[in-house]
């Protein structure tokens, strides 16, 4: 009798079946190869980070979703604990950016400047699972640390869009904005500075609830009608302007730092000048990005096949300084790996250039000489570049072949005791 054990994975986690694993391996190989062609160097950071780092008010809402690790042995004193953090001294990382910042702060003297980092690894968030979103999931990040100019943003966007193209995607949209523009818009409109973050959260909903919905929600959150009217007037002006970025530069005046709009326009023009096809890059003044650590340019990639963003990132010039006391320019872009895999599986994606899969079916009781012959022939086919599976023949051979065909096997070689039949 079986023990009463749960054969299903923990809620929010998943088992990966062979077909998906093949696609995941192929995607990771393409991502690594293309990012390395842009000069990024692969690194690895631990799955665990100190609870103080994870709870440093830099991860936005993700800090509410940390999987915390209890202290061990004598350090764990439940009776004297006043807060959750008294019970935990570490937690599973919720992204790869904070670990990278700690990594760079610890190893800056051993690394080139600027440093172009590539990270691929699992992260964990205790959130409600949904389509393409799990509690454990893979992230694929590229970051440039030590580069203060918008060359970092340009390189990150081109590297990420070209990677998505190599994965077979096209007709996607790169949305780009600037946190300093958001701040200037809020200040110009007359919102209270201490409530700017609440304004950003409402503006971020514009693609779902529209301008009228945003206006009503601003009023519902007790922002003044004058400030809400001024904010909506900005969006009306951008809709009518031939160049929304130039319009904001002229309208926002001293509320906006010098050079912000010029830099954003230059990023867009440089990406377009690279001549990559299959996507568009657009200025989106409602793009916010939820992480509290973003300080400048922010961007997302959305895909019609998924209905939401599949990649995102931005500039975070203050995070490394939290560890060292000295700010370091930093900018990164992350591909939503699980969302990409979900799309490919739904499209019944076939890996291009995949080796021919051949199954050798061996009848039970095969004599030694026939077994040796089968092994030799299988090796010949492998040397020819095929992927060869050797397996005992089932009683219901027809059903066995159907199962193998579902796994991509397209040729079958049967070995019998009496004679070799192909």
Q: Structure tokens of 356?
A: 């021919």
> Is the pLDDT at 160 greater than 90, yes or no?
yes
What's the rounded mean pLDDT across residues 297-326? 89
295 closest CA partner among 101, 120, 37: 101
Which pLDDT belongs to residue 128? 85
What's the rounded mean pLDDT across residues 235-259? 92
> Is the pLDDT at 363 greater than 80, yes or no?
yes
264 closest CA partner among 293, 243, 278, 291: 243
Terminal-to-terminal C-alpha distance of the chain: 43
Radius of gyration of the chain (CA): 27
Which carries the bigger pLDDT value, residue 29 or residue 10? Answer: 29
What's the rounded mean pLDDT across residues 97-109? 95
The Cα angle at residue 114 between residues 340 and 45, in degrees rounded to 5: 50
What's the rounded mean pLDDT across residues 250-255? 92
Which carries the bigger pLDDT value, residue 129 or residue 371? Answer: 371
> Is the pLDDT at 419 greater than 60, yes or no?
no
The length of the chain in residues reads 422
How far apart are the C-alpha atoms of 32 and 41, rounded to whole Å? 9
Q: Write out pLDDT tens, residues 11-20.
A: 889 999 988 9
Q: Does the domain made of 12-167+305-353 have the CATH classification 3.30.70.20?
A: no
Domains 12-167+305-353 and 357-421 agree in fold: no
What's the rounded mean pLDDT across residues 63-69? 87
Per-chain mean pLDDT for the chain: 89
Question: Scanning the structure block, which residue is given the tokens 């709870």?
Answer: 55
Which pLDDT belongs to residue 420? 47
Which pLDDT belongs to residue 75? 67
Q: Write out pLDDT tens, residues 273-292.
A: 998 888 899 999 989 886 67
Instruction: Look at domain 357-421 and name its CATH class.
Output: alpha beta
**Banded pLDDT at 354 (limits 50, 70, 90):** confident
Q: Structure tokens of 59?
A: 């991860």
User: Is the preceding omega at residue 114 within 30 degrees of 0, hence cis?
Assistant: yes
> Is the pLDDT at 406 greater than 70, yes or no?
yes
Domain boundaries, the chain: 12-167+305-353, 170-288, 357-421
State percent of the chain over pLDDT 70: 92
Which pLDDT belongs to residue 332? 97
How far apart are the C-alpha atoms of 107 and 311, rounded to whole Å? 27
The distance of Cα 7 from the centroid of its chain, to the nearest Å, equals: 29
- Within 8 A by CB and 6+ apart from 356, the residues are 385, 386, 387, 410, 411
How far apart are the C-alpha atoms of 201 and 187, rounded to whole Å? 15
Which pLDDT belongs to residue 276? 86
How far apart are the C-alpha atoms of 79 and 85, rounded to whole Å? 13
Which pLDDT belongs to residue 73? 65
């Amino acid at each position: 009798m079986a023990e009463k054990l749960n054969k299903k994975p923990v809620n929010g986690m998943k088992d990966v079946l062979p077909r998906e694993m093949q696609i995941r391996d192929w995607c990771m190989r393409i991502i690594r190869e293309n990012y390395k062609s842009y000069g990024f160097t692969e690194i690895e950071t631990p799955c665990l980070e100190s609870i103080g780092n994870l709870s440093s008010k830099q991860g936005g809402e993700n800090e509410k979703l940390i999987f915390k690790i209890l202290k061990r042995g004598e350090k764990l004193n439940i009776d004297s604990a006043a807060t959750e953090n008294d019970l935990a001294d570490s937690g599973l990382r919720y992204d790869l950016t904070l670990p990278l910042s700690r990594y760079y702060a610890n190893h800056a003297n051993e690394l080139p400047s600027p440093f172009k980092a590539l990270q691929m690894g699992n992260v964990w968030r205790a959130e409600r699972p949904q389509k393409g979103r799990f509690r454990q999931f893979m992230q694929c990040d590229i970051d440039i640390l030590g580069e203060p100019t918008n060359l970092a943003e340009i390189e990150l966007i081109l590297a990420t869009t070209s990677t998505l193209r190599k994965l077979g995607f096209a007709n996607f949209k790169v949305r780009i904005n600037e946190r300093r523009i958001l701040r200037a818009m809020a200040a110009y409109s007359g919102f209270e500075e201490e409530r700017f973050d609440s304004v950003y959260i409402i503006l971020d909903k514009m693609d779902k609830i529209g301008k009228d919905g945003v206006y009503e929600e601003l009023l519902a959150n007790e922002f003044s009608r004058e400030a809400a009217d001024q904010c909506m007037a900005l969006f009306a002006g951008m809709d009518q302007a031939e160049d929304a970025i130039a319009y904001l530069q002229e309208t926002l005046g001293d509320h906006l730092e010098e050079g912000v709009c010029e830099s954003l326009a230059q990023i867009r023009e440089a990406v377009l000048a690279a001549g990559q096809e299959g996507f568009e890059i657009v200025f989106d003044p409602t793009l916010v990005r939820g992480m509290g650590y973003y300080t400048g340019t922010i961007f997302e990639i959305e895909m019609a096949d998924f209905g939401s963003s599949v990649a995102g990132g931005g500039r975070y010039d203050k995070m490394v300084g939290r560890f060292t006391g000295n700010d370091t320019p930093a900018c990164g872009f992350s591909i939503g790996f699980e969302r990409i895999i979900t799309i490919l599986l739904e499209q019944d994606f076939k890996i291009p250039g995949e080796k021919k899969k051949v199954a050798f079916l061996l009848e039970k009781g095969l004599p030694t000489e026939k077994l040796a012959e089968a092994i030799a022939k299988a090796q010949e086919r492998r040397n020819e570049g095929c992927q060869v599976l050797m397996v005992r023949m089932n009683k219901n051979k027809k059903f066995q072949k159907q199962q193998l065909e579902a796994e991509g096997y397209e040729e079958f070689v049967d070995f019998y005791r009496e004679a070799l039949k192909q």
